Structure 1
Amino acid sequence: MIINGTSSQDVAIADRGFNFGDGHFTTIKLTAGQAQLFDLHIARLEQACKVLAIEFNQWDVLTAAITEQAQALQEGVLKVTITRGEGGRGYSAIDCSSANWYLQHRAIPAQYCEWARSGIELMVCEYQQTVNPVLAGLKTLNRLDQVMIKQELDANSMADGLVCSTEGYLIETSVANVFWVTAGKVYTPSTKRSGIEGVMKTHVSNLLDSLGVELETGHYTIDEMLVADEIFITNSVMEVVPVKRIMTPDLSIDVCYEKPYTLSQMIKRVVKWRR
């Protein structure tokens, strides 16, 4: 692990990221020594620092370190974390030290390649995700919603599942954003009140726009999505994964497609050559 530019495994217990989840992160896919969607990841980190009012002035050092690690490691996932630092009085950040940054390398989950080839089965989770318009869209260090969702998935022997907010609207899966196609139009849930605005979601949205494919973002229920012609999920590491089946409390809905060229397959190809 790299901490503030130095190789170390010692994380200060006084770090506010550890104590209060006072920070945020992004996960970058490394391919052939390159950090994929690098500019979008940096933009995400900058936006989170702005919203959380974290004063971070080491962008040049951080970006150089990410580039160096990508070239050295070649493949995998690089998790980039920024915390407010150490100190403050209780929750107050007054007199807090300067921000800390961390780089951690992990392997790409093996199942992601299989999902990309064969599709994924999802369940509809009972757990509902909290609503917080101020923090919505950010990938903060407070991931207890996802921990609870994953416990439900593990108990049902499912890899991933669709999650609604406490307001009853579809938001995302435990690890990915959701898109679906109905009558040639693409839909994706809004993350303005809950959920994470993924880097790959932004990239795919930009690609759809460049291809002239209409994308509508809004508040939708599970039932509205279940009538779709095609469903796929995205994140920066798995990229684009088609959904082949959705398990609901009452029935299993098969959303496999016989068409050889579905939108998700096309987007997967475009993602590969436009990064």
Structure 2
Amino acid sequence: MYISMNGELMAPEEARLSPFEHGYMYGLGVFETLRVYKGYPFLYKDHLKRLSEGIKEIGIDTEITEQYFYEEIERVVKANEWLDAYVRFNVSAGEGPLGLPVESYTDPQTIIYTKPLQEKAMPVEKQAVTLTLRRNSPEGDIRLKSHHFLNNILGKKELKNRADVEGIFLTDEGHVAEGIVSNIFWVKNGELYTPTINTGILNGVTRQYILRLANELNIPVHEGYFSKEELQAADMAFITNSIQEIVPLSAVDDISYESPATSLIAELQAEYKRHRFYLSSYKELTGKKGNANDMEK
């Protein structure tokens, strides 16, 4: 197995980080997880945009070009001889003195991790459980995909590692927020609902894709502040992330949903499958549904 560290391919056991690495000491780092399909990194431009915004927000003075981002992911995946893979592109602040500096970091550490994925290993359906632990507020104005994952880990511990269940966070005010590693959507009377990013959730790349796709398919969308009871009153619901894609929920707590086999969820899943072999950004959606030939582009 190979990783990429600062542009150099190496075995994981060869990688070294300074004990003064501020990504380790203070959690100053951001990352993106994305999925590669037959060698193609789906929605890579959107992942790079969010990564670049996070880098700037935490004060790392560097630029990752689109060409480098794409080619380095491709290089690591090819080195491991994987066509379908999970990729984590991680950028941390780099080495610094003890204490909390206000100056920009100029020598960040970039690590690309990968592992093989098989579609048959992805969940077809999950249950959801409302967590008693509340979603913490973002560290800054918006939630970054950063190294600050304690809230997520404590939520996962509350579930006791149940792989078939996703935990759903509520905000301190009692509004539906997001899953431990996902965004959440639900359907009521043919219309789509999802929490607003003003609740403090991560603006997931797959979330942004779904919102644009729904608009192109003329599906009404409502972003807002919603109660747990409104979620439970839905006709059906699903969660999204860049690795598991679109996963229908069979139930939230003790409230069951109808089967999504011939539903709006199935329509979104079908479009996702058509796009994932060639779409570099959700902004490229044109309103025209894909076709079988698109899968080979």
| TM-score, L = length of structure 2 | 0.83
Counterpart of 1:4 in structure 2 is 6
What is the alpha-carbon distance in structure 2 between the residues aligned to residue 71 and residue 109 of structure 1? 16
Residues 80-159 of structure 1 mapped to structure 2, 5 A cutoff: 80-94=89-103, 96-108=105-117, 113=122, 115-116=123-124, 119-132=125-138, 134-154=140-160, 159=165
Percent identity (aligned): 22
Question: Which of 33, 36, 52 pairs up with 1:30?
Answer: 36
> Residues 200 and 77 (structure 1 numbering): CA distance in 2 closer, same or farther, change over 3 Å?
same
Contact kept, 8 Å, 1:243 with 1:256, in 2: the verdict is no
Q: For residues 2 and 156 of structure 1, do their structure 2 counterparts lie closer, same or farther at Cα, with a shift above 3 Å needed?
A: closer
Instruction: Flag the 1:94–1:134 CA change in 2: closer, same or farther, 3 A.
Output: closer
Partner of 1:274: 275
Kept in 2: contact 1:34–1:71 (CA 8 A): no
Is the contact between residue 87 and residue 93 of structure 1 (CA under 8 Å) also seen in structure 2? Answer: no
1:48-81 residue CA offsets vs partner (Å, 9 max, x unmatched):
1232232112424343211322444322201011
Question: Does 1:17 find its partner at 2:26?
Answer: no
Aligned to 2:208: 202
In structure 2, relative to structure 1, the CA distance for the partners of 1:110 and 1:210 (3 Å cut) is: closer
137-146 or 90-99, which moves further after superposition? 90-99
Q: Distance in 2 between matches of 1:167 and 1:100?
A: 38
Deviation per CA, 1:134-182, whole angstroms, max 9, x where unpaired?
3533211100110100010117786321111122211111111000011
Count residues with an aligned counterpart.
Answer: 267
2:118, 2:169 → 1: CA distance?
21
Are the structure 2 counterparts of residues 133 and 93 from structure 1 closer, same or farther at C-alpha, using a change threshold of 3 Å? closer
**Contact 1:14 1:87 survives alignment (8 Å):** yes
After superposition, give the CA deviation of every residue in 1:25-55 in whole Å (9 maximum; x if it has no partner).
1101011111111111111111212322321
Contact 2:34–2:88 under 8 Å retained in 1: yes
* Change beyond 3 A, Cα 1:93–1:102: farther
Unaligned runs of 5+ residues in structure 1 are none
Quickly say closer, same or farther: Cα 1:147–1:167, change in 2 above 3 A.
same
> Mean Cα displacement is larger for which, 138-147 or 156-165?
156-165
SS in 1 for 2:153: helix
Aligned residue among 61, 75, 86 for 2:68: 61
Unaligned runs of 5+ in 2: 277-297
Counterpart AA for 2:101? S
CA RMSD of aligned residues (A): 2.2
Is the alpha carbon distance of 1:156 and 1:34 closer, same or farther for their aligned partners in structure 2, counting shifts above 3 Å? closer
User: For residues 162 and 80 of structure 1, what CA distance do their matches in structure 2 show?
Assistant: 26
- Deviation digits for residues 233-272 of structure 1, max 9, x if unmatched? 100010000000122xxxx111132x64111111010011
Tell me what 1:230 maps to.
236
Q: Is the 8 A contact 2:84 2:118 kept in 1?
A: no
Cα gap change, 1:235/1:164 in structure 2, threshold over 3 Å: closer, same or farther?
same
CA deviations over 1:175-216 (Å, ceiling 9, x no partner)? 110000111211111223422111111111111111111111
TM-score by length of 1: 0.89
Residues 129, 163 of structure 1: 8 Å contact kept: yes
SS at match of 1:122: strand
Alignment of 1:74 onto 2:60? no
